[in-house]
Structure 1
Amino acid sequence: MQLPSHVPQEKDLLTIDSDKEPWVKDFPSPGSDLCPLFFDPQNGIWVIRARVAPGVTLPNHFHTGTVHLFTMAGEWNYTQYPHQPQTAGSYLYEPGGSIHQFSTPADNAGPTDMFMVIYGANINFDADGKFINISDSSFIETMINKAAQARGMAPLKYIRSLGARYTAQ
């Protein structure tokens, strides 16, 4: 058996150290800071690290795809599931079609730190159940870059999949 062929890669590994990269503060809302890691708009995948301050509640949202979420520090819950707080070390799988509202307890000692792999889009709704927007890989990538630019930050470093190409001409 021969070694399988592989996709040619960069000279170095594609890696991001989110502890060393700048974070976009108060994005997408006050008390939420994001570090983008990977965007693949063609396949609708976005990977982010987020830190959310105590006492923050985000809008209700509907997931069109699945989410893998790992809590690294702090505590949070979905308002629909207050009996199931997610704490440091918790892994949560969210199936497509789920609806929930993220919230951090006001008495958290510090920010809640999470790593997320998101497939598809979040369809966001206000407190009255009215449509706000659709957040998918393309939208989040565009908006986080606009927010960084508006804050006078250098261009953000993250990995981006460029999608389909011809293999030969």
Structure 2
Amino acid sequence: MTASASASHPIDSERMPWIPMGPPGLAFKPLRFFRDGWMYLFRLEPGTRIPRHRHTGEVHGFNLSGRRQLLDTGEVIGPGTYVHEPAGNVDSWQVVGDEPVVLHITVRGAIEYLGDDGQVLKRVSSADRLETYRRWCQEHGEPFLATCE
């Protein structure tokens, strides 16, 4: 059954498993995919570091649990803190303390991971995240729960 475009589409994220994102310590629960972005819960284990990256669109992040440190400013972001990153923002950060960080993030555009010289080493788009999720669901026999625009 296909839901109407004007109908609500609740997703019980508690029923959704954490899906590995590649490097150890990173996992996500996708909630919604847009043509130009995605919305997901993002879990990072203690000590995990997010390498230097640039956002081609704006990002909205809300810390649900754990603490992370923005490496460019030293600022520590804890539970209940909202962070807006405008398009073009370049940053890196890491989980601090011994509790995992869980974020609710909405990403518009792509994420470009950067080398020391600023060269783009890897680019991740909405289509890439969607494919990671679809492939994982197929390989593990799990239902596809996220919504797509």
- Classify the TM-score, shorter chain: 0.7 to 0.9
**In 2, Cα distance between the equivalents of 1:129 and 1:56?**
22
- CA spacing shift, 1:139–1:55, aligned 2, 3 Å: same
Find out whether 1:70 has 2:62 as its counterpart. Answer: yes
Segments of 5+ residues of structure 1 without an aligned counterpart are 1-7, 162-169
Indicate the structure (1 or 2) with the bigger Cα radius of gyration. 1
Segments of 5+ residues of structure 2 without an aligned counterpart are none
**In 1, Cα distance between the equivalents of 2:134 and 2:22?**
11
Which residue, 43, 49, 57 being the options, matches 1:57? Answer: 49
TM-score (norm 1): 0.78
Aligned to 1:95: 86
Tell me the secondary structure at the aligned position of residue 12 of structure 2.
coil
Higher strand fraction (1 or 2): 2
1:45: Cα distance to partner?
2.2
Tell me the secondary structure at the aligned position of residue 32 of structure 2.
strand
**In 1, Cα distance between the equivalents of 2:99 and 2:61?**
19
Find out whether 1:40 has 2:34 as its counterpart. Answer: yes
Contact 2:66 2:79 in 1 (8 A): yes
Tell me the secondary structure at the aligned position of residue 127 of structure 2.
helix
Residue identity in the other structure for 1:22: P
1:15: Cα distance to partner?
1.2
Which residue, 136, 157, 161 being the options, matches 2:145? Answer: 157
**In 2, Cα distance between the equivalents of 1:93 and 1:67?**
6
1:10: Cα distance to partner?
5.9
Find out whether 1:111 has 2:100 as its counterpart. Answer: yes
Cα deviation code 1:80-102 (max 9, x no counterpart) = 121x1110000001111100112
Aligned to 2:9: 14
Aligned-CA RMSD value: 2.1
Matched pairs, number: 147
TM-score (norm 2): 0.87
**In 1, Cα distance between the equivalents of 2:137 and 2:11?**
17
**In 1, Cα distance between the equivalents of 2:84 and 2:29?**
21
Report which stretch shifted further, 130-139 or 10-19: 10-19
Matched-pair identity in %: 24
**In 2, Cα distance between the equivalents of 1:98 and 1:11?**
33
Residue identity in the other structure for 1:157: L
**In 1, Cα distance between the equivalents of 2:92 and 2:144?**
28
